[in-house]
Chains A and B, each alone.
Chain A
Amino acid sequence: MTERLTWEQIQKKYPDQWVGLVDVRYRNNDGISVESAVVKYKDKTKSELTRMVLKGEIVSRHTNPEGHLQLGAVEIL
């Protein structure tokens, strides 16, 4: 997989899953908001990708980052 895709294309092609990205370009070069990238991994778990992130090998993102209606307010009892 060496095809460069926009973030919207990545979301459409790999819906609701974690992807490992390389050759990432960011919106306004902000270093966080993926504008386009090459999808290197599409079949890895979140933790597998996280380990690669910590080694500096890839950028990891979920293609449906707000897809679940989560509530905050974590507290300890």
Chain B
Amino acid sequence: MKQFILKLDDNRQRPVVLLSNGLTALLDTGAYIPVWTDDEDILVSDMKAELVKENVPLSGFGGSTYGNLYKVNIDIGGIVYPNMHIIANNDINATFNLILSATMFEGLIYQIDTVNHVLSVDIPDHESNIRNLRVESKDGKQYVLCSGQVIE
């Protein structure tokens, strides 16, 4: 078992972690897919994201909307998501740069410790810290798949 520890921002009540590139990310255990909540142009020009699909429908308590689906490389404290699918939507007034979804931690053991202000992620021996998250379409429905990626 490998363990990764990320500090949570003590100035916030919600679990927000810092990525290696200095961006802040909210861990939203109710979210099905990661969301880029900053300027979409930054995702493309600075983060080198590639467009996968335009106008993907998404919903939340705020109602339904659309966002463009991209793939981008993300590193969360040593847990790496190459070409991770993420939807760009800057409609909410987010005080962070992106949302990390529950699906990103599929197959892992994670704990949000609000006493010691840490997010700990345990990766079982049969899993990799290189994660593969993507949106797949099947029978007209969208699914998020996440699994470990074996590196030779």
Identify the A interface with B (CB < 8 A).
7, 27, 30-34, 46-47, 50-51, 53-54, 56, 59-62, 64-68, 70-77
Q: Which 7 A-B pairs have the closest CB atoms?
A: A47-B39, A33-B10, A73-B30, A62-B95, A72-B30, A71-B61, A77-B57
Q: How distant is B146 from chain A, measured CB to nearest CB, in Å?
A: 14
Q: Which residue of A lies closest to B23 (CB)?
A: A53
**A50 and B64 in contact, given A59-B22, A77-B57, A77-B142 (Cβ under 8 angstroms):** no
Measured between beta carbons, the chain B residues less than 8 angstroms from A77 are 57-59, 64, 142
Q: How distant is B112 from chain A, measured CB to nearest CB, in Å?
A: 13
- Contact check, A72 vs B9: say whether CB atoms are below 8 A apart: no
B17 at the interface (CB under 8 A from A): yes
- Number of A-B pairs whose CB atoms are under 8 Å? 116
Distance between Cα atoms of A55 and B87 in the complex (Å): 23
Identify the B interface with A (CB < 8 A).
7-14, 16-18, 21-24, 28-33, 35, 38-39, 41-42, 46-47, 56-62, 64, 87, 92-97, 99, 101, 117, 135, 142, 144
Distance between Cα atoms of A77 and B58 in the complex (Å): 5
- Contact check, A76 vs B23: say whether CB atoms are below 8 A apart: no
What are 21 of the A-B contact pairs (CB < 8 Å)? A30-B117, A32-B7, A32-B8, A32-B16, A33-B9, A33-B10, A47-B42, A54-B21, A54-B47, A59-B22, A65-B11, A65-B96, A71-B62, A72-B31, A72-B99, A73-B60, A74-B99, A75-B33, A75-B59, A75-B60, A77-B142
- Contact check, B39 vs A76: say whether CB atoms are below 8 A apart: no
Distance between Cα atoms of A31 and B16 in the complex (Å): 12
Q: Which residue of A lies closest to B144 (CB)?
A: A76
Measured between beta carbons, the chain B residues less than 8 angstroms from A74 are 28, 30-33, 35, 58-60, 99, 101
- Contact check, B42 vs A54: say whether CB atoms are below 8 A apart: yes
Measured between beta carbons, the chain A residues less than 8 angstroms from B28 are 72-74
Measured between beta carbons, the chain A residues less than 8 angstroms from B101 are 74
Distance between Cα atoms of A27 and B9 in the complex (Å): 9
Distance between Cα atoms of A34 and B59 in the complex (Å): 33
